[in-house]
Structure 1
Amino acid sequence: MKKTLLSAFAALAFFTGTAQQKQPLLSLIPEPQSVQTLQGQVFITPQMKYFTNGAGAEKAATLFNLFLKANYGYSLEKGTMQNSTLIFSEDEALPEEGYQLTAAKNKIVLQGRAAGLFYGVQTLEQMLPDAVKNRIAVPSVTIKDEPRFAYRGLMLDVGRYFYPVAYVKQFIDVMAHYKLNRFHWHLTEDQGWRIEIKKYPLLQSVASKRKETSKGHLREGKFDGKPYGGYYTQEEVKDIVQYAADRFITVVPEIEMPGHAQAALAAYPELGCTGGPYEVSTKWGVHKEVFCAGNDKVFTFLEDVLTEVLPLFPGKYVHIGGDECPKDRWKACPKCQARIKALGLKDEHELQSYFIQRMEKFLNSKGRKIIGWDEILEGGLAPDATVMSWRGEAGGIAAAQQKHDVIMTPNTYLYLDYLQGSSATEPLGIGGFLPLERVYSYEPYPASLSASEKQYIKGVQGNVWSEYIPDGKTADYFTYPRALALAEISWSPADKKNYSRFTGALPQRLAALQARGVSFRIPESPGEDVQVLADNGSVTADLTPAVAGAKVYYTTDGTIPSTGSALFTKALTISQPMTLKYVVVLADGRSSAVYTRTYIRKRYKNAQPVNAVNKGIRFNAYYRTFNQAKNTGGKADSTGILPTIDIRPFIAKVTFGVTYEGYVKVDTDGVYEFKTNSDDGSLLYIDDELVVDNDGEHAPTEKTGLIPLRTGMHKIRVQYFDAGGDQQLQVSFGLKGKQSVNLRNALFY
């Protein structure tokens, strides 16, 4: 039968291969390896019949029929090879996850192995229009596709906050639709143990619960006073693992060791270096309480735990953590020090390596392999370990050079708990700044690796850490649409990546996520946050929403917009300086944050003709009393050079003033936002123009200013005074709406 199907497809390709014409843009994410548009369309109607030639093909057909029923109200009947015009064909000649989809001459043929057919169905679903009922027009096309990387992962941290089974399944559903195939399930943490272990019941009754939770930012030291807990039974775990497997996703469990273990220690304090007492942590961060590496009972406990965990997860990988393990307790622990001496280890880092290698040997004996965060490199890498590189790419590069497999997940690109926009408009978060475009720009193969070393980069993963993500809706907000960029990084060929094409496909894909009930972050309308008006000139403001079917409401007088404000219907002409504010409202009524565009009339400042090559900035300090920053000056009591703008060398003085002068390096033309946060007053000048006026005696106050700058060196001067009491000066700058530049790398004299 396969031969007949392949012969039929060959004839189909022959008749359509030369009949090409431009077709409407396909809104596909991730972008396939090859897309050839053909003439015409194929219509799916209730009268169409489908045919399959194997179990994998039948599964794909059933899946597609369920999609049709849910979205269009009908499903297709099965026919014969002769009377069917929708063919699902198992084809062992194609790669494991590859597929070929052809729609032409009134027939749709999908070929692949089981996983490839599944992914082909996802692509076919994305090709179908939204609102047609009985006559669904499929563009004529030939798509040949397979993934770039075998490991395409997304991690969900359920240790800090527990997510119900229904949400985990929805998370998996969306992953599968975008062809992600590894669900990394972070199950244990200082703040909670989330998986049932029958041999150790206190993990359920004690370790899964905390008395309260940090409220607001950790630095605020506030707590909500409410008990919190939850865990997954082994039956629930089996259910989720099978649910994922049905969607060609392998679940990678993470059982943290030797650090991030305080919840387990609260249940079994004898496993810690001090013997406790311990409590399940109520605050985020890195904690000193870790498993005792000198106590054999710890290894018995972990082996017992893994003995129950392994049958639940049939995949070859088990993640053992290995990150953020402070050595304080080990340094003071007689058992740990005795083990270091007995084994002839150099230090506590080698003790951690011993810990990891001992657990690896156990897992290898069970036919499994370990993955660990890049700290497992410290003290020597376990022989067969896979390294998950999170602290930038350095760990991944080092592991690949040692011929170890690597999963790239650098926090600088793929930590999806980082903020996506300004902290003024985003939900409470851990910090950082990781907009969609930066995620999309990531290239998993480091340029420093040779071709032979790059073969050890097995894939890429995004991480959703949950310290500030208490529920599923918030998890959706932080995860999407950035996980769609991750999908394209991990699946699409490098030469197919194109951010403009990707954002062009987003409106339809986000509308589909909306229909699934996914509470993604509603993106800003495409365009610059700040624009400069030329003399007597104007610019166009296009507020077209980034979600199909959404509406945009705006104001131009600085007030907060609502659905009662002006409705955007066509591009606006901006000829005067103004602050334009807008909201994007979805068809279901959900609204974005208030987004702002600023239009200013200023001339760009050209770079200074200087050759400043020394890093740092000059200062003049005045140890006397001032009442305004503008008055700082006179004969300096101290002069010198600092690596950055810093008042710490002077805070021993009761009152003082200081002036900093040098050059700031600008890497690209644009409108730059400068900020000072000071107590007391500060002034900031660029090329002798006052940009930030934060003068006067006051408590910590932040003020900002905008200035258009050309690439190159620009003169910077900051004046500050402290009249007594608290002292503070923070200076930052960056392109408006973008991440701040590290001043240490930008200041010269």
Structure 2
Amino acid sequence: MKKTLLSALALCLTLASQAQQTVKPQVNVVPAPASVEERTGTLTLQGTSARYFANSETAERMAKLYAAYLDANFGLKLQKGTMQDAQVIFSDDDQLPKEGYQLTVTNRKAVVQGHEAGLFYGLQTLQQISRNKTKTGLVLPAVTIKDQPRFGYRGVMLDVGRYYLPVPYIKQYIDVIASLKLNRFHWHLTEDQGWRIEIKKYPRLTTVGSQRKETSKGHLSENKFDGKPHGGFYTQEEVKDIVAYAAERFVTVVPEIEMPGHATAALASYPQLGCTGGPYEVSTKWGVHKEVFCAGNDETFTFLEDVLTEVLPLFPSQYIHIGGDECPKDRWKQCPKCQARMKALGLKDEHELQSYFIRRMEKFLGSKGRKIIGWDEILEGGLAPEATVMSWRGEAGGKEAARQRHDVIMTPNTYLYLDYYQGAPGSEPLAIGGYLPLDKVYSYEPLPKDLTPEEQKHIIGVQGNVWTEYIPSGPVSDYFTFPRAIALAEITWSPKEKKDYTDFRKRMRGVLYDLDKRGVNYRIPEAIGAENAVIVDPVSSGGEGVGASGISTAAQRAVVKLEPPMAGAVIRYTTDGSEPTAQSPVASGPIIIAPKKDETITLKYIVTIPETGRNSAVYSNTYTRKSYKSAVNVTPAGKGLKFQGFFKEFNAAAKVGGTADTSGVMTDISIRAFQRHPAFGAVFEGFVKVEEDGLYEIAATSDDGSLVFIDGDLVVDNDGEHAPVTQTGIIPLRKGYHRIKVQYFDAGGGDMLKINIGVKGKQSLNLRNALFN
């Protein structure tokens, strides 16, 4: 037991602080702690007079890390002292919850209590409140924080199979996620495009499998290449070094060795492991490949067991990830060995053959004292007995596994795929697709409501994933990962009731400042307070204007208050349609925007960081003055919208039309009936019924383009050939029926169309009940 006199000292400090007057908490910590009590008073650490004391080897290491932090950032020298003269005390206390800590600061001392990881996380919080340097020294607020994580598994996956990322970058990445109290680094080491870990028994995995002759450029459907060889791998010594480095920061590295799919690089190295025998080459294209490990060949399992036998000593992780996703069965269906295996085992289909494959590997790893994790496809054909499921295709796989009493790590692509777009594609680096802004990541709740409390206990963790098809370097990886991984950290650590996005944005400013100091190339987020707004004409609405949350729109004007998204940043803006530059006005106070009736003014701005010279992309928000749209006096014929389908190529939703190939009535706005065609267009027309006067937000998510008209006005313009992107518009509507028209086109490849309508801040309309013709 580590509970010592230091614990009693901390208790005394807590009691002393309770005698101080309680004030509203102002401590900015991310992720939000379970309990924060901020009090009057401060603790000042000065010059070389500040002392620390630690009561264990781990506590001593945390104290030295804090001393190094103070020296590097503030030039303050924290020296070792005694328990009596120390201003900062690290107390190893194993009576606190696992990974939990308590931080108590009074005007005399700061005490961090915790055991092992708990002390480390207490240190991260202490560093976050150690930012206020004054002439007299470093000033810490008086506070009592009691904290522990919501989930035990808090992870980020980084794919190095597509692009090799160097060791120094991997270490910095681990540094950053550890500072956010994330504790799992899922290292995706093998792929169709590259094998990245040294296996001494099979040297061709690195001499052949780690190299590709060139790389696909652009999106999956494009047949373009850069003509540049790419390669790289981690030696076993480098792996040991990284694993040890992570362990010092209480991050467990979970390796992934993909099987039975995503195996082209391995097959190029050892072609006898495939169903056809090759020849194969390390893939230069992204996507899902038909060449997979042969499930009917015993040599395949010998190979994989040999590989894992070398991998296991490098990674003390309880879990070994074996992939299991995106494994086409084409080759297995044609392979005599696979078909003979199925017949001998009495397997009814190739899904059961995959289940056999996974179960066999689970048995092997179980004999070595390890457990497997796999993507949710491992549910197909029957789940291996002790497997843990990573639910990536939404939540369905995770919920099914939890109902079967299997442990689950939630990582749905709809919320936690950090390689998706964060903003308008035109202003963002090329991404694989999707649209996942910071606020949507933050909104994720990992415990599905339709699971029982007992089933919810099997949701043991949450993970964000960074796939690197379009992420060729460390700086680009940083851009996609952060700040969305900061939101992920709060999802995984903080109590559900503590989550508040507005408060999070303000607390996050200090974290982003810290990332700047580390040289992390994170995406500079949009300004706080920046939202599209509609100013409703009071003549027609009978009252003052109404706008987006936090924006005053009285007297036909918007009063916009933009706050920098991180400490030390400056916002420069324009309202005349021009692009903002370093000479544009600074948004140091309220911006008055007063459009004329039916006019839209666009506020454009950039966020700049003078200390580093970095600029954000150009962000924009629209401010439109409109009158309420009166309802249409109509008696609809029935529910649903009239539709027309056009089975030919278009290059814009605005051009969809002509002689329809099909028509009819649909109960909702769906393209399912047209998706079998390689390219198509669709038009939906009718009425939408709204049950109250209000400002309605229309959202269109589409791949490719879409347009939404309400009462003849274009409300959402999401046109163009692009990956899934969401665009929104706002329109004031009176209660009743309003004309709606939706135009959409698909140019081939992916296709998607989702329309959402609702009053901002309220539940969206159920369109099946609200659409009429």
Q: Does 2:601 match 1:582?
A: no
Partners of 1:292 and 1:298 within 8 A in 2: yes
AA matched with 2:184: R
Whole-Å separation in 2 of the counterparts to 1:678 and 1:27: 41
| Corresponding residue SS for 2:37 | strand
| Corresponding residue SS for 2:221 | helix
Q: CA deviation at 1:347?
A: 0.6
Q: Does 2:45 match 1:44?
A: yes
Q: CA deviation at 1:23?
A: 5.8
Partners of 1:389 and 1:410 within 8 A in 2: yes
My pick for the range that moved more, 6-15 or 601-610, is: 601-610
Whole-Å separation in 1 of the counterparts to 2:485 and 2:44: 32
Q: Does 2:258 match 1:256?
A: yes
Tell me which of 80, 83, 87 is aligned to 1:81. 83
Q: Does 2:56 match 1:57?
A: no
Q: How does 1:532-571 map to 2 (within 5 A)?
A: 532-535=534-537, 537-571=556-590
Partners of 2:3 and 2:94 within 8 A in 1: no
The 1:544–1:307 alpha-carbon spacing in structure 2 relative to 1, beyond 3 Å, is: same
Tell me which of 326, 330, 343 is aligned to 1:328. 330
* 1:485 equivalent in structure 2: 487
| Corresponding residue SS for 2:614 | coil
For residues 54-88 of structure 1, the C-alpha deviation after alignment (integer angstroms, 9 at most, x for no partner) is 11111111111111111122332212222222211
Whole-Å separation in 2 of the counterparts to 1:204 and 1:368: 25
Q: How does 1:550-699 map to 2 (within 5 A)?
A: 550-576=569-595, 577-587=600-610, 588-605=612-629, 616-619=640-643, 640-642=664-666, 644=669, 660-664=684-688, 669-672=695-698, 685-689=709-713
Whole-Å separation in 2 of the counterparts to 1:608 and 1:143: 57
Partners of 2:178 and 2:250 within 8 A in 1: yes
Partners of 1:192 and 1:263 within 8 A in 2: yes
The 1:109–1:633 alpha-carbon spacing in structure 2 relative to 1, beyond 3 Å, is: closer
The 1:575–1:101 alpha-carbon spacing in structure 2 relative to 1, beyond 3 Å, is: same
Q: CA deviation at 1:621?
A: 8.8
Q: How does 1:17-32 map to 2 (within 5 A)?
A: 17-22=18-23, 25-32=26-33
The 1:27–1:611 alpha-carbon spacing in structure 2 relative to 1, beyond 3 Å, is: farther
My pick for the range that moved more, 167-176 or 576-585, is: 576-585
* 1:447 equivalent in structure 2: 449
For residues 350-389 of structure 1, the C-alpha deviation after alignment (integer angstroms, 9 at most, x for no partner) is 0000000000010011111100001111111101111111
The 1:639–1:402 alpha-carbon spacing in structure 2 relative to 1, beyond 3 Å, is: closer
| Count of aligned pairs between the two proteins | 729
Whole-Å separation in 2 of the counterparts to 1:550 and 1:181: 30
* 1:518 equivalent in structure 2: 520
* 1:16 equivalent in structure 2: 17
TM-score by length of 2: 0.87
Gaps of 5+ in 2: 538-554, 648-653
Q: CA deviation at 1:51?
A: 1.1
Partners of 2:31 and 2:490 within 8 A in 1: yes
Gaps of 5+ in 1: 624-628
The 1:427–1:80 alpha-carbon spacing in structure 2 relative to 1, beyond 3 Å, is: same
Whole-Å separation in 2 of the counterparts to 1:416 and 1:649: 30
| Corresponding residue SS for 1:540 | strand
Partners of 1:733 and 1:741 within 8 A in 2: no
* 1:341 equivalent in structure 2: 343
Q: How does 1:729-748 map to 2 (within 5 A)?
A: none
AA matched with 2:161: G
Q: CA deviation at 1:346?
A: 1.1
Partners of 1:606 and 1:709 within 8 A in 2: no
* 1:626 equivalent in structure 2: none
Q: CA deviation at 1:4?
A: 2.0
Whole-Å separation in 1 of the counterparts to 2:702 and 2:178: 46
The 1:524–1:685 alpha-carbon spacing in structure 2 relative to 1, beyond 3 Å, is: closer
**Structural RMSD (CA):** 3.8
The 1:396–1:133 alpha-carbon spacing in structure 2 relative to 1, beyond 3 Å, is: farther
Q: CA deviation at 1:96?
A: 2.2
| Corresponding residue SS for 1:424 | helix
* 1:207 equivalent in structure 2: 209
For residues 429-455 of structure 1, the C-alpha deviation after alignment (integer angstroms, 9 at most, x for no partner) is 011111111111111111111111111
Whole-Å separation in 2 of the counterparts to 1:37 and 1:699: 52
Q: Does 2:738 match 1:714?
A: yes
* 1:424 equivalent in structure 2: 426
Partners of 1:460 and 1:490 within 8 A in 2: yes
Whole-Å separation in 1 of the counterparts to 2:675 and 2:198: 56
Q: Does 2:159 match 1:157?
A: yes
Q: CA deviation at 1:193?
A: 0.4
Whole-Å separation in 1 of the counterparts to 2:495 and 2:374: 27
Q: CA deviation at 1:6?
A: 2.1
My pick for the range that moved more, 576-585 or 352-361, is: 576-585
The 1:44–1:123 alpha-carbon spacing in structure 2 relative to 1, beyond 3 Å, is: same
Partners of 1:390 and 1:408 within 8 A in 2: yes
AA matched with 2:414: T
| Corresponding residue SS for 2:374 | strand
Whole-Å separation in 2 of the counterparts to 1:672 and 1:292: 49
The 1:167–1:662 alpha-carbon spacing in structure 2 relative to 1, beyond 3 Å, is: same
Q: CA deviation at 1:534?
A: 2.7
For residues 592-626 of structure 1, the C-alpha deviation after alignment (integer angstroms, 9 at most, x for no partner) is 11111111111243666889897753247999xxx
For residues 284-328 of structure 1, the C-alpha deviation after alignment (integer angstroms, 9 at most, x for no partner) is 111100000000000000000000000000111100000010000
| Corresponding residue SS for 1:533 | strand
Partners of 1:371 and 1:388 within 8 A in 2: yes
Partners of 1:36 and 1:142 within 8 A in 2: yes
